[in-house]
Structures are given as C-alpha cells and as structure tokens.
Amino acid sequence: MLAWYSVTTFSGQELKVKQLLEAMIEREQVQDLFGRIEIPHVNEEHISTKKGKRVVKIERRNLMPTYVFIQMDLNDRTRHLVQNIQGITKFVTIGGKIHPIPEEEMVAVLPRDNGELGELLPMEAPPVKEGDSIRIKEGPFNDYTGVVEEIMKERGKLKAMVVIFGRSIPVELNFSEVEVL
C-alpha cells in the first residue's frame, strides 16, 4: 500500500534527488511500488527594470528546503533503493523508526489541480512588530541583538538589522528564533 514518507537531502539538491529517484524507478521497473514525488514550492514573480525595460523573473522557492516527499510502498527493497540515491541523507524518523506521514498532513504541502498548494495551517501572529528590539535566541547569530526592519508574516519570518563586527547586517530569521527585549 502506498503511503507518504519524507527524506532529507543535501541543501539545494531537492530537484536533482527527485530526478534521480524518477530515473531509478524507471530503471528498476518498480513503478507499482512508487507514486508521486513532491517538493513543496511556490513560484515567486520578481519584477525589475533593466535598461528601461520591464523584466519579469519567476523563481522557484522551496517551502521546506532539504525535504522531498515520496509516496511509496515501504519495504526493504524500496527503502534500500531510496537510501542509495545520491544526495539523500536519510529518511525522516520518529524515535528512530520510519513512519508514514498521514494523508491529512500532506494536504498542506501537495499542490492541487490548479497548481496552488493545499490549505496551509494558519500562520500565528508574529510575536514582534517593526521597530522592536530583539535578541536572537538560536542559530548562528545566537545572543546577538537587532532591530526588526520587516515582517514577512506569510513566510513566518522577519528581517532584522544586526550589528556584527561593527557593521549593521540584514538577517532573515524565523519568528521562533527571536524574543522581544
């Protein structure tokens, strides 16, 4: 029976892993043991002006970097085939065991027929507002302080100006990584 599982990849290798998985499924003729392979993403449109002309650039932004979701019948053979794909680091586990992801949780990350993503979980209100002084409580900038410049509620992130080596640097952070001073 096909169920959803998740694997982690090296950063930026999600599309390559998907292509390698699809090629392996074809080569090994195991199409009956695999279903869809998904990388949750959105296409963002960036408009700029270059030499007086309007330039529209569409960029693909992964919503869950380093994660690939695979619909498959998990058994020793399929697990081994997936784990040996170049770029895959491991299956996502709970308590050291590989568990399927419930279909109702996958609805949020799977694209619908119109290409839009499923119903995303409601975003919690940001704990800060523009101009607030914050302290970073985790990550590479742990214990640095800064001032919130921009709130990106739809992405669950904020941009803060942090003084590092005497220079003010913009840093993008998750809401959960900061606290208001």
Question: What b-and-e string marks burial along 22-46, b requiring 16 or more CB atoms within 10 Å of the CB?
Answer: eeebeeeeeeebbeebbbbbeeeee
- Is residue 177 predicted with pLDDT exceeding 70? yes
Structure tokens at 8: 């982690």
Q: How confident is the model at residue 172 (pLDDT cuts 50, 70, 90)?
A: confident
User: Model confidence over 73-120: pLDDT tens digits?
Assistant: 999 999 999 999 999 999 999 888 999 998 888 877 776 554 454 444
User: Model confidence over 148-168: pLDDT tens digits?
Assistant: 998 887 677 889 999 887 888
User: Which has the closest alpha carbon to 35: 49, 25, 44?
Assistant: 25
- Identify the structural domains of the chain with CATH numbers, from first to last: 3-106 (3.30.70.940), 133-180 (2.30.30.30)
CB-neighbour burial class of residue 167 (10 A; exposed 0-12, middle 13-18, buried 19+):
exposed
Question: What b-and-e string marks burial along 68-102, b requiring 16 or more CB atoms within 10 Å of the CB?
Answer: bbbbbebeeebeebbeebebbeebeeeeeeeebbe
